[in-house]
A and B are shown apart, each in its own frame.
Chain A
Amino acid sequence: MTKLLLVCTVFAASLPLRADQAAVRIEPTNLHGPRVLVKQTETAVIQDYLESWQSVDAALGQNRVDLLDRDFVGTAKEKLTDTIQEQTKLGLTTRYQDRSHDIQIVFYSPEGLSIQLIDKVEYDMQLLDHDKVQTTQRVHARYNVVLTPAEVRWRVRVFQADPE
């Protein structure tokens, strides 16, 4: 009986995290810049930002730097790349499954070269050491994100959780 219970526990802990979509809430914009944010830009920015979470999950879950290319640039990309390299060295992988987002765009720089948003995000972090699940933890964080325009999409340049 004990063995059965133990097997069940191990099996449950090894299950991959759910791949369903996160709940997204968009707060009215509260811009402190002079530039007007049109709806089309707002939609594109939020969509590209949400897709960046999928890239984080895939890149850190498979320790593949190339999966960051589409959505990240500059400091954010460099830091995530460093994390992947460190994870590879230690035999670790991490999964980041976002569960909910509460997003507010707070700044659109006057020259149109950056947009900043605050996201109160809830995600599940799963840590695996040499493919063995060590823990799964639900995390609440307030992310401060700066995106800059690239050829066909907005890319995340700053991706940083601040104390709530």
Chain B
Amino acid sequence: MCRSQLHFADQYKTVDFFAVHNDLANISVPPDSAIQSVVSARRRDIQFGRFRMKCALRLLVGGLALATMQQALAQSGTMSLPKTVEAGSAFSIQTSGSGKAVLYIVGPAEVLKRDVQLGQPTSFAAGDLHNAGRYVAVLVGGGSPENGEFDLTPAKQPANLSFLAKPSRISVSLHDGISGAAYVFDAYRNLITTPMPVSFQLSGLSGPAQERTVVTRNGGAWTAMDSASKDGAAQFVARVGNISATRVIQQVPGEPCGLKMSARPSGQKIELQTEPVRDCSGNAVPDGTVVTFTELYNGTQTTVDVPLKRGIAQAEMPAYNGAKISAATGVVLGNEIRWGGQ
């Protein structure tokens, strides 16, 4: 634009220069050389003054004319936008008018800038614009910019699943104890918001697999499932189309279901031992679970905490005739033994 303004001004200067020369032809000069030089100087001053005035006038007129032309060009620079474009697909924006302009495609998720030739379509290759969102298209062609908006929608084909599963370790036989939420994304990491079925499957070593299909809402789907009655690792899988994500859930035995101990004499002591401790589904309670043995004799209480080893707990306590001995773990109270038969 600067170049054309300069060129425009030069044209006017050239025309003005010739006009000044034509005016000189009408001034008559006396033959005396001294007078002639004074007249020449005066004539140069007049020439220069006229030249400056005319230059300024013509430049002003030229500038106004140029501004009007720019306005006209800007008005003719319009564009036709698609309403929506699928992420990653090729598309084009048609412009009208003539001359050059700059096209901006702007959004928080992506920004593009292209030099365009008005009147010709501007093509965007597949993948040029791939982040879903609302975009503002701005066409700047010398005058006031032309703005428009369009949406870039996620691709229809799922390519990735974000799968959140909890907990990673859970007791057996818990209703709705395992939950999972899945978000479906396309190849460009756009959240696919059109509803689509997600299948969840929980399968372990024993028993039939649990399976549910949930249709996504706003790109997400969730489910809750029961933990199995047998301990062991379970595979928790979310699947949409041929895309899947797997999480391993460790199912561990639950709380002890019952506790039974036996006692036998061992010198001055009593040797206590539990039977293998199991949960209500018959799974062995893990080693390390603490069993508390309590002996009550003559108003004195003695307590021993023992962790399970190989499924059983063992302890030695003083042998007092008439002592009452009990065992407990968690909320489960075992049998009671009265020593000595008193």
Contact = CB atoms under 8 A, between A and B. Distances in A.
Interface string B155-171: 00000000011110000
Most A CB within 10 A of own CB, among B147, B165, B224: B147
Contacts of A62: none
A34 B154 CA distance: 28
A113 B132 contact: no
Given A111-B166, A144-B219, A135 B145 contact: yes
A83 B149 contact: no
A82 B219 CA distance: 23
Contact of B149 (A60, A113, A139, A160): A139
By secondary structure, the B interface counts as: strand
B220 interface: yes
B116 to A, nearest CB: 14
Contact of A111 (B106, B107, B154, B179): B179
Contact of A144 (B84, B191, B222): B191
B9 to A, nearest CB: 17
A127 interface: yes
Interface string B181-192: 101010001110
Interface residues of A, number: 44
Contacts of A158: 183, 191, 219
A161 B136 CA distance: 12
B108 interface: yes
B218 A60 contact: no
B179 to A, nearest CB: 4
Contacts of B189: 75, 78-79
B151 interface: yes
Interface in B210-254: 217-220, 222, 224
Given A110-B224, A111-B181, A2 B191 contact: no
Contacts of A159: 108-109
Nearest to A142: B134
B113 A92 contact: yes
A67 to B, nearest CB: 13
Interface in B71-97: 84
A154 interface: no
Interface of A: 2, 32-34, 56, 60, 75, 78-80, 82-83, 86-87, 90, 92, 94, 96, 106-107, 109-114, 116, 118, 125, 127, 129, 134-135, 137, 139, 141, 144, 146, 158-163
Q: Which 6 A-B pairs have the closest CB atoms?
A: A111-B166, A110-B179, A109-B181, A161-B134, A161-B133, A163-B151
Interface of B: 64, 67, 84, 102, 104, 106-113, 131-134, 136, 138, 140, 145, 147, 149, 151, 153-154, 164-167, 176, 179-181, 183, 185, 189-191, 193, 217-220, 222, 224
7 contacts: A90-B113, A92-B106, A107-B220, A110-B180, A110-B222, A127-B104, A158-B183
